[in-house]
Amino acid sequence: MLGGLIGNKIGGRKATGETVAGVALGAAAGSAIGCEAQKGKQARYDGDRNGTYSRNGYRLSSYVRSARYNRIGQPFVAERTVNLRTAPTTNSARVGRLASGERFQAMAEVRGSDWILVGQNGTGVGYVRRDFVSPINNRYAGQR
């Protein structure tokens, strides 16, 4: 719109070509500015959602609540499909799933509970209940 007004003023009374050019230029500039603004918003959103923090010697995704842990640090497998939670309670939000037979890094167990901190690339990404998962023994590792 602004581009059309500028083109009209520059071209005078017979400003059809200049008006059209001004509209096109204004539209292109507006689109570019809008895209850059969207990129900035998306980057801030992704940073907040995918950020990490350290607590009690563990790196955790920003959405995962910390707890008191006993280190495990070995591979486990999901015995059946199980929800991945933001905190060691079934009342917390679900942030994903482990499929039946899926292997994962068990970083730690939550002290005094039946919950395991699931890791991905060294970062805690959620919790699963211990009764739905089991450690992978070297003897059985090739079977899964």
**So where are the chain's domains?**
2-50, 53-143
Q: What is the pLDDT of residues 53-91, one digit of tens each?
A: 998 899 999 999 999 999 999 999 999 999 999 999 999
What is the CATH number assigned to the segment(s) 53-143?
Answer: 2.30.30.40
Q: Which residues pair with 71 in a beta bridge?
A: 108
The rounded distance, in Å, linking the Cα atoms of 73 and 8 is 70
Report residue 50's pLDDT band, with 50, 70 and 90 as the boundaries.
low
- Cα angle 116-94-98, degrees, rounded to a multiple of 5: 55
Residue 111 has pLDDT above 70, yes or no: yes
Residue 31 has pLDDT above 90, yes or no: no
Q: In which region does residue 43 sit, left (phi positive, over 0), alpha (psi from -120 to 50) or beta (all else)?
A: alpha
